[in-house]
């Protein structure tokens, strides 16, 4: 056969093949990597739990033969969007996002989809977009368990005088925690068994903002309250600083969430009363498995959905546990989230 004709045929075949690959979104990354590359865009590494989430997720993805590029936005929306754009430019095969602002990250999801990159939201939902997948804990139940802890400790006479610290308004989880708390508290408030003396949202979940909320409450009401419903351990820590300055730490019930080390130590000392344990090893393990499947364009099974204002996002919800000084050893120490020595000092 005339070599020139042969050449034309080969190049035609090649261009058809390339076209096919691009149209399918490239399977394991349009760069046909041997190991999937996952982009992990984090809001912050400020709280202890996020450092653990990062390390556990990277390790689990590694066990599944995938690499992870981690970028943390230090609580800046602009920075997080730039991080996601950088990961898209890196042609990651799947994106995992822990959004600072649930709504602001919709733009990130749309940009990823324009590049044929699927997106998994980790722990916190992204709203107002065609999000592919969501994995988290039962966040409404977090709030219910926190409030039920107070409901089980109402004063024998009179009513419980309560202060409430919500999380960051930009975080969809903060609203779900509050919703769960309200589910339990509303009937008690209506029955006059609980009175909310003061309540506010702690911007960026910052402990110093939580401390300001309690300082404002003490300025308004003096130290005359029985409990603080703090939505996580970071804000509980800020609140307890204010109680310590007032000389009433340990005399007021304080809730929390995340079972970070400082909170577990406060629970042993008695200045914090409870926390919510969220098994991060389960979340990170399942999230890594889902992210690798997304990266390889393999089918995903998600039994639940979360309405995010645009679509019903296929979702996975994981269980949580209420922790006090009585079951610290059987929960967070047993699972290795914290050590006996670090918590109990021996």
Q: Note the residues at the interface with ligand GAL (CB under 6 A).
A: 47, 49, 123-124, 167, 171, 173, 205, 232, 257-258
CA 296/CA 282 separation, integer angstroms: 21
Considering the complex, state which of residue 72 and residue 173 has its C-beta at the smaller distance from ligand GAL: 173
Considering the complex, state which of residue 124 and residue 211 has its C-beta at the smaller distance from ligand GAL: 124
Considering the complex, state which of residue 37 and residue 176 has its C-beta at the smaller distance from ligand GAL: 176
Q: Which residues of 21-56 are buried (b: 16+ CB within 10 A; e: fewer)?
A: eeeeebebbbeebebbbbbbbbbbbbbbbbebbbeb
Considering the complex, state which of residue 93 and residue 101 has its C-beta at the smaller distance from ligand GAL: 101
Minimum distance between the CB of residue 301 and ligand GAL, rounded to whole angstroms? 24
Considering the complex, state which of residue 66 and residue 337 has its C-beta at the smaller distance from ligand GAL: 337
Residue with tokens 């910052």: 206
Minimum distance between the CB of residue 338 and ligand GAL, rounded to whole angstroms? 15
Minimum distance between the CB of residue 54 and ligand GAL, rounded to whole angstroms? 13
Minimum distance between the CB of residue 10 and ligand GAL, rounded to whole angstroms? 55
Please say whether the dihedral angle defined by the alpha carbons of residues 269, 272, 273 and 275, taken in this order, is positive or negative.
negative
Minimum distance between the CB of residue 222 and ligand GAL, rounded to whole angstroms? 30
Minimum distance between the CB of residue 18 and ligand GAL, rounded to whole angstroms? 42
Considering the complex, state which of residue 46 and residue 107 has its C-beta at the smaller distance from ligand GAL: 46
Considering the complex, state which of residue 35 and residue 52 has its C-beta at the smaller distance from ligand GAL: 52
Other C-beta atoms within 10 Å of 8: how many?
10
Considering the complex, state which of residue 47 and residue 182 has its C-beta at the smaller distance from ligand GAL: 47
Minimum distance between the CB of residue 334 and ligand GAL, rounded to whole angstroms? 20
Minimum distance between the CB of residue 174 and ligand GAL, rounded to whole angstroms? 7
Three-state SS for the chain is CCHHHHHHHHHHHHHHHHHHHHHCCCCCCCCCCCCCEEEEEECCCCCHHHHHHHHHHHHHHHHCCCEEEEEECCCCHHHHHHHHHHHHHCCCCEEEEECCCCCCCHHHHHHHHHCCCCEEEECCCCCCCCCCEEEEECHHHHHHHHHHHHHCCCCCCCCEEEEEEECCCCCHHHHHHHHHHHHHHHHHHHCCCEEEEEEEECHHHCHHHHHHHHHHHHHHHCCCCCEEEECCHHHHHHHHHHHHHHCCCCCCEECCCCCCHHHHHHHHHCCCCCEEECCHHHHHHHHHHHHHHHHCCCCCCCCEEEECCCCEEEEEEECCEEECCCCCHHHHHCCCCCCHHHHHCC
Considering the complex, state which of residue 75 and residue 241 has its C-beta at the smaller distance from ligand GAL: 75
Residue least distant from ligand GAL (Cβ): 173
Minimum distance between the CB of residue 167 and ligand GAL, rounded to whole angstroms? 6
């Amino acid at each position: 056969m005339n070599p020139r004709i042969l050449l034309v045929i080969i190049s035609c075949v090649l261009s058809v093949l390339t076209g096919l690959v691009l149209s399918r979104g490239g399977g394991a990354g349009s760069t046909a990597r041997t190991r999937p590359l996952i982009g992990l865009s984090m809001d912050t590494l400020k709280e202890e739990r996020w450092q653990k989430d990062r390390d556990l997720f990277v390790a689990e993805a590694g066990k599944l033969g995938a690499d992870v590029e981690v970028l943390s936005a230090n609580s800046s929306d602009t920075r997080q969007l730039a991080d996601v754009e950088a990961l898209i430019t890196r042609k990651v095969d799947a994106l995992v996002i822990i959004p600072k602002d649930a709504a602001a990250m919709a733009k990130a999801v749309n940009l990823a989809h324009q590049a044929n990159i699927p997106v998994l939201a980790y722990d916190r939902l992204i709203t107002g977009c065609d999000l592919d997948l969501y994995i988290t804990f039962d966040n409404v139940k977090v709030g219910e368990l926190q409030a039920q802890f107070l409901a089980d400790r109402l004063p024998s006479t009179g009513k419980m005088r309560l202060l409430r610290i919500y999380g960051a308004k930009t975080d969809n989880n903060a609203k779900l925690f509050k919703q769960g708390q309200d589910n339990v508290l509303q009937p008690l408030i209506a029955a006059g068994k609980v009175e909310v003396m003061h309540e506010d949202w702690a911007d960026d979940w910052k402990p110093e903002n939580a401390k300001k909320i309690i300082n404002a409450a003490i300025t308004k009401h003096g130290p005359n309250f029985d409990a603080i419903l703090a939505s996580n351990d970071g804000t509980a820590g800020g609140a307890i600083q204010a109680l310590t300055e007032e000389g009433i730490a340990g005399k007021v019930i304080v809730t929390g969430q995340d079972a970070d080390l400082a909170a577990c130590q406060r629970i042993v000392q008695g200045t914090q009363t409870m926390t919510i344990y969220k098994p991060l090893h389960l979340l990170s393990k399942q999230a890594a498995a889902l992210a690798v499947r997304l990266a390889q364009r393999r089918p995903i099974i998600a039994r639940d959905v979360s309405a995010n204002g645009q679509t019903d996002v296929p979702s996975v919800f994981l269980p949580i546990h209420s922790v006090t000084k009585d079951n610290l050893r059987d929960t967070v120490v047993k699972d290795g989230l914290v050590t006996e020595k670090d918590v109990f000092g021996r």
